[in-house]
Amino acid sequence: MLAKKITLTDFRNIEAAAVELSPGVNVLYGNNAEGKTNLLEAIYFASLGKSFRAAHAQEVIRFGAETAALSLDFEGAARAQNITMRIFKNRARAVEKNRVRITRMSELVGSFRAVLFCPEHLSLIKAGPAERRQFLDIAISALEPPYLAALQRYAQILKQRNALIRGAKDDPALFESTVDIWSRQLAHEGAYIARSRMRYVKKASVLVENCFLEMTDEREQPRLTYCGPCKGEEHDYEDVAATEQECYRQLSTAHEREIGAGATLYGVHKDDMDVLLNGRSARLYASQGQQRSLSLALKLAEGEICRDDCGEYPVFLFDDVLSELDEGRRAYLLHRMGGKQVILTTCEKGKETADRCILVENGRYTPTT
């Protein structure tokens, strides 16, 4: 997977720009607030159809403009491809893939694959379960388009079930007559999501262990475990029918507690990925340096799994992470990037070997090498 050229209009502080990229290491350098991260954001937008910095797509529209536009030329599956997107203030985005209009983001995700690593990801280990679930969901969605569709259905069903629970005291008859329908649907979607997450965590665990040992030259052994809706490591999430049955059982026997809480208490929206170091919780017992090494190893594993599953590496986007890493981890990261396309931002040019350097000033991009 190679990003060849990205063209932007009225995106953040970028009035108009066309940036050609090298297949190797691309360094975007310049002062803060000039537009370095904005370019990475646009590339990421083409990958997942959303920003990693904004809750709403409309936030990327340049101040004073009515629309923003991006066009990414890339090479994937051994052929030239293109993703074009227009973002409007008051209506849905217009998206084309290879000049064919698409209406659902699930049709876009997986076309252009990118792995993002930003300073917030260095806290992935010590953060709460929601951040690790988001990590899994983004990584799996890029590899498995049906997974994203299942997530969307699950979220909608969960929303409806929670609304039913909140209204149960006012209309108990409606709750009793319909809660079983929502519980069965939630269990059905959740069983598929749980299996996909379990499979991904198993693959990632092996890769994280290898990366961590190479990076730190230590004898500590990391391990990832999937903490799914069916408690206990003995549950076989490959048996989707059994998982669905257990999820439904939990949902069916918790009505009183859920009404008291005002929300659905069981399901994959409560999952976690536990990161262990020598059998102990890395979130609680690992040092800050060990936690950062494990976070970096998780992102590198994301790229390796993508290559194994899809036959080619994704594009790696590094947003100002080199300044957050010590010399050893920075050297290891850059060493691992050989043969891959990397687009990284930095304030100081010269700390890394680059195939192309681009000076960023007020939304303008000027190649200097």
- Domain enclosing residue 293, as ranges: 124-311
What is the rounded average pLDDT of the residues 195-223?
92
Look at residue 124 in the predicted model and tell me its pLDDT. 93
Contacts of 217 (CB under 8 A, 6+ apart): none
307 in the same domain as 196: yes
Asked, for residue 7, whether it belongs to a domain, the answer is yes
240 in the same domain as 201: yes
Asked, for residue 39, whether it belongs to a domain, the answer is yes
Note the pLDDT tens digit of each residue in 83-108. Answer: 999 999 988 899 999 999 998 888 89
68 in the same domain as 98: yes
Give me the percent of the chain exceeding a pLDDT of 70: 99
Mean predicted lDDT score pLDDT of the chain: 93
What is the rounded average pLDDT of the residues 236-252?
95
Asked, for residue 172, whether it belongs to a domain, the answer is yes
271 in the same domain as 244: yes
- Predicted TM-score (pTM) of the model is 0.93
Question: Which of 79-88, 135-144, 241-250, 328-337 is least confident?
Answer: 328-337
Look at residue 104 in the predicted model and tell me its pLDDT. 85
Indicate the residue among 311, 327, 357 that finishes a domain. Answer: 311
Query: Concatenated DSSP letters for 82-106?
Result: EEEEEEESSS--EEEETTEEE--HH
What is the rounded average pLDDT of the residues 344-366?
87
Question: Which of 65-69, 141-145, 207-211, 321-325 is least confident?
Answer: 321-325
What is the rounded average pLDDT of the residues 198-209?
97
CA 367, CA 369: separation in Å to the nearest integer? 6
CATH of the domain at 205: 1.20.1050.90
Does position 351 have pLDDT exceeding 60, yes or no? no
Closest CA to 65 of 11, 19, 28: 11
CATH of the domain at 364: 3.40.50.300
255 in the same domain as 153: yes
Asked, for residue 119, whether it belongs to a domain, the answer is no
Asked, for residue 118, whether it belongs to a domain, the answer is no
User: Which one-letter amino acid corresponds to residue 368?
Assistant: T
Structure-block tokens of residue 75: 């090479």
Domain count across the chain: 2
Look at residue 103 in the predicted model and tell me its pLDDT. 87
